Every structure is written in structure tokens, then in C-alpha cells.
């Protein structure tokens, strides 16, 4: 048996952080993928196990498939191992999953980690899809996303669920728990600038929580403004002809709000301002912030200029297009 599943990265266009507190957010899937390949492994022993390898992360681990809830982890304590063990546990609980033989899982990802592009969610979504197929279980996209969400909790503590949702469904999504609305997005050009400064989403989200608890009268109204901004952005994105300048301005307003709640950084501001000065219509951080990536909304003719400006300011520019497929599973043998 050989199964391959892949799932896309994402960028949050509007509303990160506030989405953790029930406000809406808008995200799109992009054409960078995490791929999980699962092959059967006849090790001729009574012990059914999964050998997990992510070579570019120098990760190798073993997960015992018999032990259900008490999955044994060995070799390495990367969060990916714990998250995969969680996926197995939840599939057993919810779908009575069983795997006929030992397997090897290999993870290969084009998505930089800790860069705000949803790398962990893409790996969790692809792993869920591959493991379900290997167990002969048909899962709906909602079910895949819901299992991947449990793995996201291992990675991020209190995730909103937007990352696993967009990675599963692809395209563009307006997300306001529990409502998830896929909508068709008009064509526009985005450049991502990676600060190459990795950070942990969990810590940044926790920082916002602590400041919000200390200053509720400041943070709560700010979070409401995030929500208003996202609804305004949805209006702009679904009205023809697309008002690019207004959209760009909303990027900038969103960045101001993210700055206000303390999740920007010098590196991000440098890339954001370099893009704006090079002619971007708007620029903001994307994902958790405090490092990671920013996005710039541009007219196509400005692509070269903005890319160079990001590079000169110390970032890594990445031109991406929107992925409409979401998770894909192929059974190969």
C-alpha cells in the first residue's frame, strides 16, 4: 500500500488574533504544499507501529499503533510526533480506525516553519487524509479539518481553527466560529515577505491573551474593530469591480491594529514599510506575527520593485498564487 496526501499553506488576509476571540477572519490557501507519503512496512513482528520521518527537520520517531490513547513516542519529541499520535488517537475514537500493518510516514514540506504560513496545519491535514485512506475510512472535508484541529491544539494551544479549515478546503474562506464560508475571490497579486525569524504561534497568542486580561477596556473594543474591518474587507472582496486601493488601505488599517495589540516586530515593520515605499497598495503581517511573514498587496507592474525592496530590507520575497484544491489524497498502490 502506498498513499500520498498533500495540503496547502495559507495566508491570513485579515483578522488574525482577533479570530481566536470569536471575531471573523479571511484567509486564502496558497500554492505551497506539505506532502505526506505513507507506505506499508512489513516488519514481520507482532508490534504494529508507525515510523515517522521528516528528513528536512531531522525528525524520526516511532508511534505504537496498538496502544490507542497511550501512544508511545520515541526518538524525538518534536510537536509533529505528538500531533500525529493525536490524529491516530482521535481516528480510533471517532471512526474506530485500524491499520492492517506497520507503516512508514514521510513528510516533505515546501512551507517554511514558524513563518505564519500554516505549516503545521498543512502537515496535520495531509497526515489525517493519508491515515484515513490507509485505514480504509472515507472522511468528509469537515471531518478531516476537525481531526486536524485536534492536532493543531497540540501545536498551538488554543487555535481558532482557521488554519486547518483553509488548508483542508483551499480557496478563500470567511471564518467566524462556527461559521465557515468559502467564497470566490477576485484575482489580485500578493507578495509574501518572510523575515526568516521563526517564532512560536503559541507564545505570541499567549502574549495577546495576557495583555488582553490586563487591559480589557482597551483590547475588547480593539477586537471589535478587527471584526468590523474583516466584514468591510469581505464586502470589498465580493463587490465588482474590485477596489484595490480600498483593499490596500484595509491591509494598512489591519496592520495598525496588529501593531496596537503588540504582535508586530522591527523586522516585520522594515519589510512592511519597504513594500509600501516601493509602491505596494497596502502591507501587513500575516499569521501570528512577532517575526514570520508579511504580505503586500500590489499591482502586477510593481511586483519586481516590491520584491527587490523586501530583499533589500533583509526579507525573502515569495510570489504565490491561490490554491483552490485544498487537501488532495492519492492511493498509489
- Distance between CA atoms of residues 281 and 57, nearest Å: 36
Q: What is the H or E stretch that residue 254 is in?
A: helix 244-260
Residue nearest to ligand MEV (CB): 160
Residue 175: strand pairing partners: 25, 180
The SS3 of residue 239 is coil
Query: How do 73-74 and 103-109 pair as beta strands?
Result: unpaired
| Among the listed residues 24, 112, 159, 282, the single contact to ligand MEV using CB under 6 A | 159
Q: Note if 224 is an active site residue.
A: no
55 in Cβ contact with 78 (< 8 Å): no
| Among the listed residues 11, 19, 122, 190, the single contact to ligand MEV using CB under 6 A | 19
- Distance between CA atoms of residues 279 and 301, nearest Å: 10
Q: Which residues ranging from 72 to 131 are in contact with ligand MEV (CB under 6 A)?
A: 118
**By the rule CB under 6 A, 32 interacts with ligand MEV:** no
Residue span binding ligand MEV (CB under 6 A) among the ranges 39-47, 82-90, 94-102, 153-161: 153-161
- Distance between CA atoms of residues 118 and 179, nearest Å: 20
295 in Cβ contact with 284 (< 8 Å): yes
Residue span binding ligand MEV (CB under 6 A) among the ranges 105-113, 138-146, 158-166, 235-243: 158-166
Count of beta carbons in the 10 Å neighbourhood of residue 188: 16
- Distance between CA atoms of residues 51 and 123, nearest Å: 16
Nearer residue to ligand MEV within complex by CB, 38 or 263: 263
How many residues at the interface with ligand MEV, by CB under 6 A?
A: 15
| Among the listed residues 163, 194, 303, 323, the single contact to ligand MEV using CB under 6 A | 163
Nearer residue to ligand MEV within complex by CB, 205 or 306: 205
Residue span binding ligand MEV (CB under 6 A) among the ranges 10-18, 106-114, 123-131, 275-283: 10-18
Site mask, ligand MEV, residues 187-226, x = CB under 6 A? Answer: --------------x---x---------------------
| Among the listed residues 81, 162, 285, 298, the single contact to ligand MEV using CB under 6 A | 162
Buried/exposed code over 44-74 (b: 16+ C-beta within 10 A; e: otherwise): eeeebbbbbebeeeebebbbbbeeeeebebe
Nearer residue to ligand MEV within complex by CB, 16 or 323: 16
Which of 31, 96, 142, 163 is labelled catalytic? Answer: 163
Nearer residue to ligand MEV within complex by CB, 33 or 156: 156
Nearer residue to ligand MEV within complex by CB, 160 or 270: 160
Give least dist CB 138 to ligand MEV, A.
Answer: 28
- Distance between CA atoms of residues 99 and 88, nearest Å: 10
Q: Which residues ranging from 244 to 303 are in contact with ligand MEV (CB under 6 A)?
A: 287-288
**Is residue 119 packed enough to be buried (19+ CB in 10 Å), middle (13-18) or exposed (0-12)?**
buried
All cell numbers assigned to 127:
497526515
**Is residue 29 packed enough to be buried (19+ CB in 10 Å), middle (13-18) or exposed (0-12)?**
buried
All cell numbers assigned to 108:
516533505
Nearer residue to ligand MEV within complex by CB, 18 or 297: 18
| Among the listed residues 9, 20, 234, 257, the single contact to ligand MEV using CB under 6 A | 20
The SS3 of residue 62 is strand
Residue span binding ligand MEV (CB under 6 A) among the ranges 72-80, 154-162, 181-189, 248-256: 154-162
Residues of this chain that bind ligand MEV (CB under 6 A) = 12, 16-17, 19-20, 118, 156, 159-160, 162-163, 201, 205, 287-288
Residue positions annotated with a catalytic role: 163
Amino acid at each position: 500500500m502506498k498513499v500520498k496526501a498533500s495540503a496547502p499553506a495559507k495566508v491570513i488576509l485579515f483578522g488574525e488574533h482577533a479570530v481566536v476571540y470569536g471575531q471573523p477572519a479571511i484567509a486564502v490557501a496558497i500554492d505551497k504544499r506539505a506532502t505526506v507519503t505513507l507506505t506499508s512496512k512489513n516488519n514481520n513482528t507482532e508490534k504494529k507501529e508507525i515510523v515517522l520521518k521528516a528528513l528536512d527537520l531531522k525528525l524520526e520517531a516511532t508511534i505504537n499503533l496498538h496502544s490507542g490513547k497511550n501512544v508511545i513516542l520515541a526518538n524525538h519529541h518534536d510537536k509533529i510526533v505528538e500531533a500525529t499520535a493525536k490524529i491516530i488517537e482521535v481516528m480510533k475514537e471517532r471512526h474506530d480506525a485500524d491499520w492492517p500493518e506497520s507503516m512508514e510516514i514521510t513528510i516533505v514540506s515546501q512551507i517554511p516553519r514558524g513563518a505564519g504560513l500554516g505549516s503545521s496545519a498543512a502537515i496535520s491535514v495531509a497526515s489525517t487524509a493519508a491515515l484515513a485512506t490507509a485505514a480504509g475510512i472515507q472522511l468528509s472535508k469537515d471531518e478531516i479539518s476537525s481531526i486536524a484541529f485536534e492536532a493543531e491544539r497540540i501545536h498551538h494551544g488554543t487555535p481558532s481553527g482557521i488554519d486547518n479549515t483553509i488548508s483542508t478546503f483551499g480557496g478563500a474562506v470567511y471564518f467566524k466560529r462556527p461559521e465557515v464560508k468559502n467564497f470566490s475571490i477576485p484575482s489580485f497579486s500578493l507578495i509574501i515577505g518572510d523575515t526568516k525569524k521563526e517564532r512560536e504561534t503559541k507564545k505570541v497568542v499567549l502574549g495577546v491573551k495576557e495583555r488582553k486580561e490586563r487591559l480589557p477596556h482597551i483590547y475588547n473594543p480593539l477586537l471589535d474593530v478587527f471584526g468590523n474591518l474583516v466584514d468591510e474587507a469581505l464586502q470589498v472582496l465580493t463587490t465588482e469591480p474590485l477596489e484595490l486601493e480600498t483593499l490596500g488601505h484595509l491591509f494598512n488599517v489591519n496592520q495598525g491594529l496588529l501593531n496596537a495589540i503588540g504582535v508586530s516586530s522591527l523586522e516585520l515593520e522594515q519589510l512592511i514599510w519597504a513594500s509600501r515605499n516601493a509602491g505596494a497598495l497596502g502591507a501587513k503581517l500575516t499569521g501570528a506575527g512577532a517575526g514570520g511573514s508579511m504580505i503586500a498587496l500590489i499591482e502586477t507592474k510593481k511586483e519586481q520593485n516590491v520584491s527587490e525592496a523586501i530583499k533589500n530590507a533583509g526579507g525573502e520575497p515569495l510570489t504565490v498564487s491561490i490554491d483552490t484544491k485544498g487537501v488532495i489524497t492519492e492511493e498509489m498502490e
